[in-house]
Structure 1
Amino acid sequence: MESIVNFDNVGLRYGTEAEVLSGLNFSLYPGSFYFLTGASGAGKTSLLKLLYLAHMPSRGSIKMFGNDLSIMDRRKLPGFRRRIGVVFQDFRLLPHLSAADNIALPLRIAGISEDELRGPVDEMLSWIGLDKRANAHPATLSGGEQQRVAIARAVIGRPDILVADEPTGNVDPEMAVRLLQLFAALNKLGTTVIVATHDVHLLKKVDGAQMMRLDKGQLSDPTGSLRHPPRPLILKDMA
């Protein structure tokens, strides 16, 4: 199986500061599920920024969808970014749009007609338990509700890669499990999922998911599993 992402000796620094990530070597595979863990300040958010193309590495090379990003025509980057769904810690919802319109945004950008997108948007609102708040604007939603809208927006277009930064940090345990089920369902459709989390409880819920652990900017992979295709994913009993 060909990898969908490959990091080769990647490092990242901001300005003239010391590297926040160094010597990263790993591959991610289509249809795989990864949990990214590590202490605060370990570099998790910085690694996610590389994965969703918010930053380019300071050294080393990243290949994505078979292309070396360091030599790729920069005009292709917007197309690449549309293949990546992102759940940000700070949500980044558009304040002037309703919950439904925030969720529909990726479909509209992709040129999906209003008639075609209404069904998927309504289904997603129902899944996240906000069907009765479809017309509510972000300022009137709780933090947990905003998080659910942000997640729905990230997954509705069935991206090739989903990157989620602490996606369950603002929801109750029951909704956290429901969101994990949503990620797992998307993964079964072929999306590669990377979830950054401090919640070790989540790691025990998914058999076959692989763990990436960052420690002071370096990746710990003692089994070498990040160089091989994943095992089948099994969602454990959520009770």
Structure 2
Amino acid sequence: MSEDSGGIVQFDNVGLRYGTDKEVLSDITFTLYPGSFYFLTGASGAGKTSMLKLLYLAQRPSRGMIRMFGQDLITQPRSHLPDFRRRIGTVFQDFRLIPHLSAFDNVALPLRISGMHEDEVRKPVDDMLRWVGLDHRSGARPETLSGGEQQRCAIARAVIARPEVLVADEPTGNVDPDMALKLMRLFESLNRLGTTVVVATHDVHLLRKVPDSLIMRLDKGRLSDPTGALRYPPRREAVRK
């Protein structure tokens, strides 16, 4: 896989195993292109969560090559990985909100880590909480939020800093259909601003909510390409500007 392919993320013949068990991912090769929107699908146990762990750098592969933002991640020392992670927004299935922080402070965290002045933090966080319907819960701690409210707070935190790559694991699993559609529109808006979006889902109805999205399908740890998501160059009508 060439360095000048134009991809923001590249996997080449990647395999992943935990301990001495058999591989949970095998021979994974694909390129994610800037400004594209991808759905990652597959049955339970197909390897979606393991794939996402590789994408948000929580796991190193057992073999193969991964490049991200033009850099070979396999040769990077662990001390350099936080710099890469700050360019990736992540929505975890288990939310991972910081329990002693309010909803406002959880969402504000990426902006504060990036060094934004405190005077500039309030408006974007207030606007984001309003967008996800949590403006009336901004002072609440995660333990007092419902599952759906925690999910929306986690999504707001993931997108607040406009990451270059957004990785979301079942992001609409704990919200009603109307809020699910609203959240997908939020992802689309971020995508139109240039963020490469990867949404893992088993909800086939969700796949029809984003026009021109690309689908990558995992089956028993191997990747198929039903909509041309892996081809180079990608279909021009499927690439967001």
User: What is the TM-score normalised by the length of structure 1?
Assistant: 0.95
- 1:51 maps to which residue? 55
Q: What is the aligned partner in structure 2 of residue 151 from structure 1? A: 155
- Partner of 1:174: helix, strand, or coil? helix
* Correspondence for 1:79: 83
Partners of 1:44 and 1:184 lie apart in 2 by 21
Q: Tell me if the contact between 2:214 and 2:228 (Cα under 8 Å) persists in the aligned partners.
A: no
Cross-structure match for 2:120: 116
2: distance between equivalents of 1:230 and 1:103?
35
Aligned to 1:194: 198
Quote how far apart the aligned CAs of 1:230 are. 4.8
Q: Residue in 1 aligned with 2:65?
A: 61
Write the distance in 1 (CA, Å) between the matches of 2:98 and 2:77.
29
C-alpha separation between the residues in 2 aligned to 1:152 and 1:126? 10
Q: 1:98 aligns with which of 87, 99, 102?
A: 102
Equivalent position of 2:177 in the other structure: 173
Q: What is the rounded CA distance, in whole Å, between the counterparts of 1:96 and 1:57 in structure 2?
A: 33
* Unmatched 5+ stretches in structure 1: none
Partner letter of residue 132 of structure 1? Answer: H
Report the AA paired with residue 141 of structure 1: L
Structure 2 counterpart SS, 1:151: helix
The CA distance in 1 between the partners of 2:121 and 2:191, in whole Å, is: 21
Deviates most, 63-72 or 99-108: 63-72
Q: Secondary structure at the match of 2:75?
A: coil
Cα offset, 1:175, TM superposition: 0.1
Alpha-carbon offset, residue 202 of structure 1: 1.0
Shift of 1:205: 1.3
Using the alignment, how far apart are the partners of 2:215 and 2:165 within structure 1? 16
- Alpha-carbon shift at residue 234 of structure 1 (Å): 9.7
Question: Paired residue for 2:165, among 161, 167, 171?
Answer: 161
Question: Residues 234 and 171 from structure 1, CA distance in 2 versus in 1: closer, same or farther, beyond 3 angstroms?
Answer: farther
The CA RMSD measured in Å over matched residues stands at 1.5
How far has the Cα of 1:93 moved from its partner?
0.4
Specify whether residues 225 and 195 from structure 1 end up closer, same or farther in structure 2 by C-alpha distance, changes over 3 A only. closer
> Is the 2:35–2:192 contact (alpha carbons within 8 Å) kept by the matching residues of 1?
yes
SS in 1 for 2:20: coil
8 Å CA contact 1:209–1:230 kept in 2: the answer is no
Residue equivalent to 1:142 = 146
Deviation digits for residues 177-201 of structure 1 (CA, Å, limit 9, x no counterpart): 0000000000000000000011111
Q: Is the partner of 2:10 in helix, strand or coil?
A: strand
Q: Against the structure 1 CA distance between its residues 73 and 113, is the aligned structure 2 distance closer, same or farther, given a 3 Å change threshold?
A: same
Q: CA deviation at 1:222?
A: 4.8
TM-score (norm 2): 0.94
Aligned match of 1:37:
41
> Could you list the runs of 5+ residues in structure 2 that have no partner in the other structure?
none
- For the pair 1:131 / 2:135, whether they are aligned, the reply is yes
In 2, Cα distance between equivalents of 1:182 and 1:223: 23
Change (3 A) 1:40 1:98: same
Pair 1:224–1:208, CA change in 2 (3 A) = closer
Question: Residue in 2 aligned with 1:5?
Answer: 9
The answer to whether the Cα contact below 8 Å between 2:228 and 2:235 also exists between their aligned partners in 1 is no
- Give the conservation status (yes or no) of the 8 Å contact 1:207–1:234: no
Aligned partners of 1:29 and 1:230 also within 8 Å: no
